[in-house]
Amino acid sequence: MSQLDAFLAGERHDDVALYLTEDYLDSQGKLPKMGEAVESGYVLVVPGDDGRRAFAAGTGMDAMEFARGAMESQGHISRDLDGGECPEADATDGDSGEDADGDHAVEFIFAFSEAQNEEVGGLYARGAVVHAYAHCACGASYSDKWVVGEETETGVQPGESEPAEGAE
C-alpha cells in the first residue's frame, strides 16, 4: 500500500498530504517533483511538521492559516486529493466549472486526518475524518471533509456545494 493509499484509508493521522499541480510546481520552483505522481501533479504524504514546512516552502503560506481561511467556503475536493470543484466557478459560468478565462483549476491541496472520536460525536463518531483544503487558480480557497469509508455519503459531493450529511 502506498503512503497516499494508507493516508486515504485513515491510517496515517500523524502525516499530512500535499497535492501540487505540475504547473504550480514549475511556476514556483520551490519543491522538487517528488511524491506520488497523479494525472496533473504530485501528492506527497509526509510527517505533519515536515509537511507544514514543505507546504510553506511550496506555496509561501502557513498551512494552518491557509486551512483556517479555506474553512470559510465549502466545495468538493477529490477523494484522491488530486483536484476539486471551485465554489466560485458556479458564480461565473453555471455548470461548466470554468469562467471565461478557464481559471478554476486546483493549484494545491493541504490535507490531514483525525482518528475516530466518539466523544466528539457527529462525523467523528462515524470513523476517521479527512480534512482537505484547496486553493484555486482564481484565488479562492475552500474546504471539504469526509469520513473514511463513507466518501460518497459524507462531505461535499461532485456538483454540490453543501456537505451530504448536513451540518454534522
145-150 mean pLDDT: 97
Fill in the amino acid letter for 21. T
Q: How do residues 19-67 score in pLDDT, each as one tens digit?
A: 988 877 655 555 555 678 888 888 989 999 888 888 888 788 999 999 9
Task: Give the three-state DSSP class for 133.
Answer: strand
- State pTM to two decimals: 0.88
CA atoms within 13 A on the CB side of 118: 0
Domain boundaries, the chain: 3-147
pLDDT digits (tens, 9 = 90+) for 109-136: 999 999 999 999 999 999 999 999 999 9
Whether residue 131 contacts residue 67, with contact meaning beta carbons closer than 8 Å, is answered with yes
Give yes or no for a contact between 94 and 71, defined as CB atoms under 8 angstroms apart: no
Is the pLDDT higher at 156 or at 54?
A: 156
The answer to whether 31 and 1 are in contact (CB under 8 A) is no
Residue 167: Cβ-neighbour burial (10 angstroms; 0-12, 13-18, 19+): exposed
pLDDT tens across 59-89, in order? 889 999 999 999 999 999 999 999 999 999 8
